[in-house]
Amino acid sequence: MMPTRVYSFRLFTSGLLIAFLGTLSTAQARRAPKESGSTTTVVIDAGHGGYDRGGIPGQRVSEKEMTLDVAQRLKKVLASNGYRVVMTRDSDVFVPLGTRVAIANNYPNAIFVSVHFNSAKRTGAGGIETYFYSHDSLPLASAIHYYVAGGAPSSNRNVRRRGYYVLRKTSIPAVLVECGFLTNPTEAALAQTASYRQKLAEEIAAGVRGRNTVASARSTTRVATGESIPLQPYIDQTRVAKSKGRRSKRSHKKTTRRKKSSSKPAKSEAKTASKGQEG
């Protein structure tokens, strides 16, 4: 989960991406996942673990258990697809953020997928959202989100750009997917079924396999290439990321918070912001 989304939500450019995703031909993307994974390493990061349960205080369903289970299922799916898979954790242990990043950066040609579930005080909050930071990570984020959000009954909360520690410090394409809200009764009930967690794993894997095809579809759409992301948020976030980097040791969910929020959201951002945000 992420505690403070209200504040920074509209500062990011995700609104563009939904337009991009919406323009993808279903057939085009659905036939994508045929890539051979024989040369690709996927570093799978199950969020939280050990004393870090994830989620918010009093949350009934433990995020760390759900993330580990989905991650382990994802590991099996990707391994069966021929990928080399590395887990940042494969049991209920606490792994510091720096260690997770170090593991990822140990595989220069890998991609990094961090699995999380969301939470909010308002139980009605729900949906799937996918985060990336570096522009190199956008195709992977777009593809994973396309499949996970497309395969889930939950609402689509878009692809978003944010400087989470594990996204900012990894030197390889890195994505963090929030697979629904464990504080939402419907989504929590789903998450607690093995079949749904398996589906999540398979959709994430489809995104991994389809990342290049979904990315190449960008050239046929008008929106959301890495270059089309407004420059201003990128610069701002990079600057804050540097100055606040020290604070990000404790939780990988700790994001770079902006002191200045004076910049107006772009039109597309305002549209998504109006849907409201949960803390």
Binding site for Zn ion (CB under 5 A): 47, 54, 116
Burial class for 194, CB neighbours closer than 10 Å (0-12, 13-18, 19+) = exposed
Closest CA to 164 of 277, 240, 276, 62: 240
Name the residue type at position 187.
E
Residue number, nearest CB to Zn ion: 116
User: How near is the Cβ of 145 to Zn ion at its closest, in Å?
Assistant: 16
User: In the complex with Zn ion, which residue's Cβ is closer, 73 or 254?
Assistant: 254
Alpha helices, DSSP H only, in 192-230? 194-216
- φ and ψ at 41, to 5 degrees? -100, 135
User: How near is the Cβ of 253 to Zn ion at its closest, in Å?
Assistant: 5
Name the residue type at position 165.
Y
The answer to whether the CB of 198 falls within 8 A of the CB of 135 is no
Burial class for 68, CB neighbours closer than 10 Å (0-12, 13-18, 19+) = buried
User: In the complex with Zn ion, which residue's Cβ is closer, 62 or 228?
Assistant: 62
User: In the complex with Zn ion, which residue's Cβ is closer, 15 or 54?
Assistant: 54
Alpha helices, DSSP H only, in 43-132? 63-80, 97-105
User: How near is the Cβ of 74 to Zn ion at its closest, in Å?
Assistant: 15
User: In the complex with Zn ion, which residue's Cβ is closer, 52 or 269?
Assistant: 52
Q: CA geometry: angle at 252 spanning 19 and 78, to 5°?
A: 65
User: In the complex with Zn ion, which residue's Cβ is closer, 47 or 139?
Assistant: 47
User: How near is the Cβ of 268 to Zn ion at its closest, in Å?
Assistant: 26
User: How near is the Cβ of 54 to Zn ion at its closest, in Å?
Assistant: 4
User: How near is the Cβ of 58 to Zn ion at its closest, in Å?
Assistant: 16
User: In the complex with Zn ion, which residue's Cβ is closer, 41 or 67?
Assistant: 67
